[in-house]
Amino acid sequence: MVLDIIYALTSAVITTCFLTVLFVFSLWHNLVAAHFKPRDPRDTRSSSTGIKPGKRTRNSSAASGTPLALDTDHLNNINFDHLISSPQTNVEQSEDGQWDRNKQENPFGDLLYAEDTKLVPDLKHYYSQYGILVEEYEVETEDGFILELWHFTPADTKRVSGSKKHPMLLLHGLLQSSGSFASAGRKSLAYFFYESGFDVWLGNNRCGFKPKWNRNKVRNDSKWNWDMRDMVKYDLRALVTAVLEKTVKSKLTLVAHSQGTTQGLMGLANGETIYEDDFRLVDKVENFVALAPAMYPGPLLQERLFVRFMSRFIASPVFFGKRSFMPQMMMMRSLMVGTKLFSFLSYVMFNYLFDWNDTLWDKSLRNRHFLFSPVNISVKLMEWWLSQDIRKKTFKTYGNDIFPDAMTWFPIEGEFSRQKIPCHTNSKVSSADQYPYILLFVPKQDRLVDGERLINHFADYEPQELYKCWYIDEYSHLDVLWAHDVIDRIGRPVLDNIRVADDAM
């Protein structure tokens, strides 16, 4: 007890100093970037891994007549999106949403003009203006954590259980909520999927904005004693089960971003060892859509001084405590969220830490994007992401055991079995239909994770009929959610390629 108090005091002092220094560096970086650096969305630095021809090699062929300048490697199911947006593609606008209508012709201009520029940290405020009711449910995990599950439904009609619409569960990234899928309003992926006829659900992992527990199951020392393994074993299972029960469906489409992709693919590729009963995630998911998939660490984790500092000391309770990770962030959110200053400060700090920018975003919507982050996470989860301790099973030290490069994660009788490639944990099945169809959207500018390594794995070791990849030259880690053309480059390709029964739409 006394030791916990000491840890709380020392970590509060150290993390406050850390955030203060980070804040100063971030502001300076933003000043230099805004006034002295050229505004070019392309990053010319090489990634840690290059995409190599797969073992099923074939020359790439240019796709003619496509508006997105795609080169397609048909044999390995990889689309290379080389489009670099012209200045005319994105509406010239200020942060208050105004622009010269006579200067630009843009099909999304009217959508932006109609968007509410007020900063309200509640999706209901915005989606009620679109005739959409955001229902809120609470879902309890087997280990006693209360999760928030949001659902889009028409505001003028009562929801009918057992709708024919195909359910789609959206799952967020680290330090975010699933509001990140919907913050762009009519230009968001969540809204696009809903308007395209899908039953859209937004799932949130444990603790979120306001931590809730079943006090009969969760003791005080367990409230923050969780990491990625628990989120896969309990949170993902609870969210998927709840959506399927409420929709009376047997399968859903899982759309995930960053950390959510780690959860999803861990559950799909390692379910035989994670779930201790007869629950099989591969039997519940029809399609898995991974945006900025985070299976392997990228070079940025070794380049940024502040990230290296966290990696070095994240396991020390003296530095970061043993409970919530940097609770000062949530305190500042409670005091400032809904102001332009809060959104601006959130942007500059994450921009500096993770090396992405807002070049491809609609400027009038940027402040809205940061209304739905950060969220509460445990120090133990951040330790899972950043720790360099080889004795612990973490993202940086154990990635090749969770997602082994030279094994087949989704084995199918036939081509790959003849090549004698070892299987991971899933047993062989007779056809690809028995696994989810996997769509990978990998941003080339994303140096936080190594998406190229994941593409190489699928090209070399996974059955061709199981997956399809998009490698987007100018996108970064958050552009897959917030770029001005995300509907064309993410939303429509998703709908054009996922498996959905004819009577489900």
Q: Provide mean pLDDT across the span 47-59.
A: 56
CA 430 – CA 411 distance, rounded (Å): 9
Answer yes or no: is pLDDT of 90 > 90.
no
pLDDT for the residue 173:
97
- Domains of the chain in start order, with CATH, are 2-504 (3.40.50.1820)
CA 161 – CA 246 distance, rounded (Å): 7
For a pLDDT cut of 70, what percent of the chain falls above it? Answer: 84
pLDDT in tens, 322-375: 999 999 999 999 999 999 999 999 999 988 888 888 999 999 999 999 999 999
Answer yes or no: is pLDDT of 58 > 50.
no
Q: Which residues contact 443 (CB under 8 A, 6 or more apart)?
A: 292, 451, 472, 475, 476, 477, 479, 480
User: In which band, very low, low, confident or very high, does the pLDDT at 50 lie, cut at 50, 70 and 90?
Assistant: confident
More confident residue, 372 or 117: 372
Determine phi and psi for 228, rounding to 5 degrees.
-60, -40
Region class of 16: left (phi > 0), else alpha (psi between -120 and 50), else beta? alpha
Cβ–Cβ under 8 Å, residues 166 and 503: no
Helices (H) and strands (E) in the chain, counts: 21, 11
pLDDT for the residue 483:
96
pLDDT for the residue 55:
53
Cβ–Cβ under 8 Å, residues 384 and 395: yes
Per the document, the length of the chain is: 505
Residue 373 bears catalytic tag: no
CA 408 – CA 424 distance, rounded (Å): 6
Answer yes or no: is pLDDT of 41 > 60.
no
Q: Which residues contact 168 (CB under 8 A, 6 or more apart)?
A: 193, 198, 199, 200, 201, 252, 253, 254, 255
More confident residue, 352 or 87: 352
Answer yes or no: is pLDDT of 87 > 50.
no
pLDDT for the residue 103:
38
3-state helix/strand/coil string of 162-196? CCCCCEEEEECCCCCCHHHHCCCHHHCHHHHHHHC
Cβ–Cβ under 8 Å, residues 104 and 93: no
Cβ–Cβ under 8 Å, residues 270 and 425: yes
pLDDT for the residue 89:
44
Catalytic residue among 446, 450, 479, 485: 446
Catalytic residue among 26, 177, 178, 258: 258
Strand-pair partners of 439:
289, 468
Catalytic residue among 151, 477, 484, 485: 477
Residue 283 bears catalytic tag: no
Q: Provide mean pLDDT across the span 124-144.
A: 97
Residue 258 bears catalytic tag: yes
pLDDT for the residue 98:
44
Answer yes or no: is pLDDT of 418 > 90.
no
pLDDT for the residue 304:
86
pLDDT for the residue 281:
97
